[in-house]
A and B are shown apart, each in its own frame.
Chain A
Amino acid sequence: MTITLTHFLILSGIIFSIGLYGVLAKRNVVSILMSIEMMFNAVNITLVAFSRYLPVPTSDSAAQGLNGQVFALFIIAVAAAEAAVALAIILAVYRGRRTVSVEDVNLMKW
C-alpha cells in the first residue's frame, strides 16, 4: 500500500475538524488559541503535501515543488505573530477582569 496525497489530506482534515471543535466548544481563551494553532498546522500539512505531490512546473527544476514549503514558512511566521499579540491581549484582559473565560468577557454583547 502506497501513501498518496489523499492520505495526507484526510489526516489534515481530521486535525482541522478537531481544531474547529476546540475553537467552538472551549471556554478558556488560551485553549481556543491552542486549537487555532492546531488548525494552522493542519493547513501547513496540506500545503507541504501539495508541494510534494503536485509541484508547480517551473523552468528551474531545483525549485520545483518547493513553493508550498515557502508558503508554510510564511504561515509559521504569521502564526507566531498572532500567538504573541493574542496572548498579550489575554494578559491585558485578565489584568482588568480577572478571568480567562470567554463567556465572562461580554462587554460587546448587546
Chain B
Amino acid sequence: MTTESWTTLAFFVIAFFLVVGALGVVLLPRIVHSALALVFFFFMTSGVFILLQAEFIAATQVIIYVGAITVLFLFAIMLTNRSYAADSNPPNSQWMAAVLVAVVTFGILLATFLNGIVPVSTAATPGGVGDITRTLGELLMGPFLLPFEAAGVLLLAAMIGAIVIARET
C-alpha cells in the first residue's frame, strides 16, 4: 500500500472511533462512563491533528484536555452526588426536539461544506512540514503577541474567578 492509502485508512479508522467516542459521551447512562468516553474522544481528536500534520496542537490536546480538563470534570463529578447511579446522566423530556435540531444543523453544515467552498483547491499544501513548533512560537511572539498576552490575562482572571466562586464562604 502507498502512503496515501495508509493515510486514507488511518483517517477512516480515527473518524469512526471519534464518532463512537462522541456518541458515548452523550448516550452512556452513567456520568463517569461519559467522562471516560470523553478521554477517548480527546485522544482520537489528537489523532486527527496528527493526520493534519499539526503535531504541536496534537501534543497540546493530550496535555491540556486529557491531562487537565478531564481531571477537572472527574473532580466535579466525584464532588457531586449520585455519580455512579445508573440514571446519573439522563436525557430530558425534550430529547426528540434536540435530535431534530442537531440533524437539521448537520444538514445545513453538510450543504455548506459540499457547495459553499467551491472555488478553492482541496489538495493538501506542501507546506506545513519542517519545524512547526518553532514557527508557531515565532508567530506567537511576533504577529500574535497581543492576543497571546490577552490569553495570559484571561487565564489569570479565570483562575482567580474560579477560586473566588468555589471558595467556602
Contact A80 to B68, CB < 8 A, known contacts A8-B48, A20-B102, A66-B135: yes
Most chain A CB inside 10 Å of its own CB: which residue of B45, B52, B124, B147: B52
Chain B positions 122-163 with a Cβ under 8 Å from a chain A Cβ: 122-125, 127-128, 130, 132, 135-136, 138-140, 144, 147, 151, 154-155, 157-159, 161-163
Which residue of chain A has its CB nearest to the CB of B22? Answer: A18
Chain A positions 18-40 with a Cβ under 8 Å from a chain B Cβ: 18-22, 24-28, 30-31, 33-35, 37-38
Q: How far is A52 from B8 in the complex, measured between Cα atoms in Å?
A: 16
Inter-subunit contact A94/B80 (CB<8 Å): yes
Inter-subunit contact A84/B122 (CB<8 Å): no
**Dominant SS among interface residues on chain B:** helix
A-B contact count (CB 8 A): 246
Inter-subunit contact A24/B102 (CB<8 Å): yes
Which residue of chain B has its CB nearest to the CB of A35? Answer: B26
27 CB-based A-B contacts, threshold 8 Å: A10-B110, A11-B48, A13-B106, A14-B22, A15-B19, A16-B106, A18-B19, A21-B101, A24-B101, A30-B77, A31-B31, A34-B25, A35-B26, A44-B45, A44-B49, A48-B52, A52-B124, A63-B139, A67-B139, A70-B139, A76-B60, A80-B68, A85-B162, A87-B75, A88-B161, A89-B165, A91-B79
By a beta-carbon cutoff of 8 Å, the part of chain B in contact with chain A is 4-5, 7-8, 11, 15, 18-19, 22-23, 25-26, 31, 34-35, 38, 41-42, 45, 48-49, 51-54, 56-57, 60-61, 64-65, 68-69, 72-73, 75-77, 79-81, 88-92, 94-95, 97-99, 101-103, 105-106, 109-110, 113-114, 117, 120-125, 127-128, 130, 132, 135-136, 138-140, 144, 147, 151, 154-155, 157-159, 161-163, 165-166, 168
